[in-house]
């Protein structure tokens, strides 16, 4: 029967690694092919090579550009919540008479939710597909944000923020993985450029905060009833509403199709062919790919195959039928292949450690910055305006920083060179920011840091999903993202001590050291993904 020829070509005990295969990526270095090929089967490697060639032949078109926008608004919303909390938490603390050493509980709650969300949603994306997580995470964030606006206590606020984090935790890794899996190889640099949307999210919330916080907030905990401190609540209402509009835009403008590489990993060759023809038609061209092309590859292999996972054939928001334990799939079927060989294990481990260090260092700087600027400006409307102007300058420059990161990924020194240099430079400029003696120096080094961190994240977001094969891409990206969020949890603890509070520069010094360390570790990554089509 034809169904018996379908293959769940994820890594199982019965399948053989593709360590000796050299045709996975036509333009890749053979050693890099061998390292990543160990995580997939020979059958999958041959089929994904065929699929990649066809996607490259079809080229970039309206299908991918539309997905660029829809994935981009998800990345915009992803940065809403960290920026929203960092801008609102000071006013929440005034209203509920919370000390500055306790304000980081807001960031910690968000990071805890993001950590668990990254693990759950990314595991789900490898188990039942990308589109369910892609559609639902943005909706959850918007709904809970509206609820957070009515938080009756600081503890209640932290609980709602944690649930926002859980809902959005898988958004960034899943959106990036999904977008990558539709891209022709020569356009993979666009994944780095997608981070421009992330920077835009920070700018939007900062501008809204400037309007609401300055216009509808109290200035002292001594006299701060809810009626005179509605600014942060307005901020959550408006931002949550924007997120819901973004979710609606996804549903209305595009009935998302499942990733062709995910379908290929499930052995659904007919679905892959159908998907490729949809892409070609949307882009105004034709595809010659046929199911017989995959059957011809099947005939070359004598591997033992299994039927694909059962998934219901209804709409993208239906809860799928899961026949095996999600925990088992996460812990065995999709994690173990990422450590199949020593070099692959080294690359995976270093990626996770680098994400952890950046997740620890970035919040120490970025989440501490708005409160630090407020505490070091006089408590007048002029002083508050000044702090917002400085932070908006920081947010604006993250946009060209992301564009620079995308450009750097195309240069000869590759993704690793771009990531190492931008990360180390971020550490250097945060050192200079922490040591600044004048307001002019604070503004200058703050702005330059925004450019370098924007570039760094652009490269990091491109490199990470590229070096995880599609059958395990959601899990690998989720592990990295979870490590990043775990770093955020620890970063929230540091300012709680009196020695490293938000009114000192200690968090900035620690952040600078961690950025520099992460940049050095990048140099030891064994895989370079530039010029290589993602499998």
- In a domain, residue 275? The reply is no
- 3-class DSSP assignment, residue 103: coil
* Residue 88 located in a structural domain: yes
Hey, what are 158's tokens? 């932290």
Asked which of 35-39, 293-297, 335-339, 439-443 is least confident by mean pLDDT, the reply is: 35-39
> Is the pLDDT assigned to residue 149 strictly greater than 70?
yes
- Please indicate, yes or no, if residue 82 is contained in any of the structural domains: yes
First to last CA, the chain: 28
- Using alpha carbons, list the distances in angstroms from residue 72 to 156, 381, 408, 476: 30, 35, 20, 21
Does residue 240 register a pLDDT over 90?
yes
Q: Residue 379 pLDDT more than 50? A: no
Most confident of 14-18, 123-127, 209-213: 209-213
Q: How far apart are CA 307 and CA 314, in angstroms?
A: 20
Element (H, E) at 182: none
Question: CATH number, domain at 113?
Answer: 1.20.1250.20
Has residue 51 got a pLDDT over 60? yes
Domain of residue 253, residue span: 62-257+338-522
For the CA atoms of 189, 113, 447, 512, the dihedral, rounded to the nearest 10 degrees, stands at -100
Q: Is residue 462 part of a domain?
A: yes
Residue 467 CB partners (closer than 8 Å, separation 6+)? 36, 347, 351, 476, 527, 529
Compute the distance between CA of residue 250 and CA of residue 12 in angstroms, rounded to an integer.
35
Give how many domains the chain has, as a whole number. 1
| Residue 6 covered by a domain | no
Rounded to an integer, the average pLDDT of 374-401 is: 68
pLDDT band at residue 337 under the 50/70/90 scheme: confident
Q: Could you read off the pLDDT of 250-288 as tens digits, one per residue?
A: 877 766 678 888 888 888 889 899 999 999 999 999 998
Q: What percent of the chain has pLDDT over 70?
A: 79
pLDDT surpasses 80 at 2: no
Of residues 308, 322, 213, the one with CA closest to residue 270? 308
Residue 281 lies in a domain: no
Q: Please, are residues 70 and 249 in contact by the beta-carbon 8 Å criterion? A: yes
Residue-wise pLDDT tens digits, 389-426 = 777 877 788 888 888 988 888 887 788 999 999 999 99
Which residues, in sequence order, are bridge partners of residue 17?
Answer: 41
Summarize pLDDT for 89-106 with one digit per residue, the tens. Answer: 888 888 888 877 777 788
- Is the sign of the CA dihedral 59, 62, 68, 71 positive or negative? negative
Whether 503 is covered by a domain: the verdict is yes
Q: Is residue 102, in this structure, part of any structural domain at all? A: yes
């Amino acid at each position: 029967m034809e169904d018996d020829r379908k293959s769940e070509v994820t890594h199982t005990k019965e399948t053989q690694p593709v360590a000796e295969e050299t045709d996975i990526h036509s333009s890749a270095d053979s050693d890099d092919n061998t390292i990543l090929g160990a995580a997939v089967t020979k059958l999958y490697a041959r089929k994904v090579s065929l699929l990649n060639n066809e996607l490259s032949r079809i080229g970039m078109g309206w299908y991918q550009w539309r997905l660029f926008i829809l994935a981009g608004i998800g990345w915009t919303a992803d940065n809403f919540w960290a920026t929203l909390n960092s801008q609102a938490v000071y006013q929440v603390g005034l209203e509920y008479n919370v000390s500055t050493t306790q304000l980081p509980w807001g960031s910690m709650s968000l990071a805890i939710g993001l950590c668990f969300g990254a693990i759950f949603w990314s595991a789900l994306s490898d188990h039942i597909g990308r589109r369910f997580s892609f559609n639902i995470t943005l909706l959850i964030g918007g709904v809970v944000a509206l609820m957070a606006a009515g938080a009756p206590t600081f503890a209640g606020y932290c609980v709602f923020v944690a649930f926002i984090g859980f809902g959005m935790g898988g958004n960034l890794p899943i959106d990036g993985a999904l977008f990558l899996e539709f891209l022709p190889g020569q356009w993979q640099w666009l994944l780095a450029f997608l981070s421009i949307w992330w920077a835009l999210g920070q700018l939007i919330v900062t501008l809204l905060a400037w309007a609401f916080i300055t216009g509808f907030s109290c200035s002292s905990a001594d006299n701060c009833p809810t009626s005179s401190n509605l600014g942060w609540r307005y901020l959550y209402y408006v931002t949550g509403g924007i997120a819901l509009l973004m979710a609606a835009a996804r549903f209305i403008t595009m009935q998302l199709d499942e990733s062709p590489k995910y379908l290929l990993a499930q052995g659904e060759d007919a679905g892959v062919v159908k998907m490729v023809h949809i892409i070609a038609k949307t882009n105004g061209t034709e595809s010659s790919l046929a199911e017989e092309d995959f059957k011809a590859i099947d005939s070359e292999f004598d591997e033992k195959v299994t039927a694909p996972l059962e998934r219901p054939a209804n709409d993208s928001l239906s809860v799928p039928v899961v026949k095996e334990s999600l925990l088992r799939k996460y812990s065995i079927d999709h994690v173990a292949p990422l450590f199949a060989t020593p070099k692959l294990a080294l690359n995976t481990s270093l990626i996770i450690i680098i994400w952890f260090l950046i997740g620890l260092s970035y919040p120490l700087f970025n989440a501490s910055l708005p409160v630090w600027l407020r505490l070091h400006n006089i408590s007048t409307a002029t002083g508050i305006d000044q702090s917002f102007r400085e932070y908006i300058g920081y947010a604006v420059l993250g946009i060209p920083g992301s564009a620079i990161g995308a450009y750097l990924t195309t240069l000869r020194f590759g993704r690793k060179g771009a990531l190492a240099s931008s990360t180390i430079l971020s550490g250097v400029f945060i050192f200079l920011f922490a040591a600044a003696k004048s307001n002019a120096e604070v503004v200058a080094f703050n702005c330059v840091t925004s450019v370098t961190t924007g570039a760094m994240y652009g490269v990091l977001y491109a490199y990470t999903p590229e070096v995880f094969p599609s059958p395990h891409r959601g899990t690998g990206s989720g592990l990295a993202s979870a490590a990043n969020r775990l770093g955020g949890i620890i970063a929230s603890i540091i300012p709680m001590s009196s020695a490293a509070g938000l009114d000192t520069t200690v968090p900035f010094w620690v952040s600078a050291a961690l950025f520099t360390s992460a940049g050095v570790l990048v140099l030891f990554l064994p895989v370079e993904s530039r010029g290589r089509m993602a499998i």
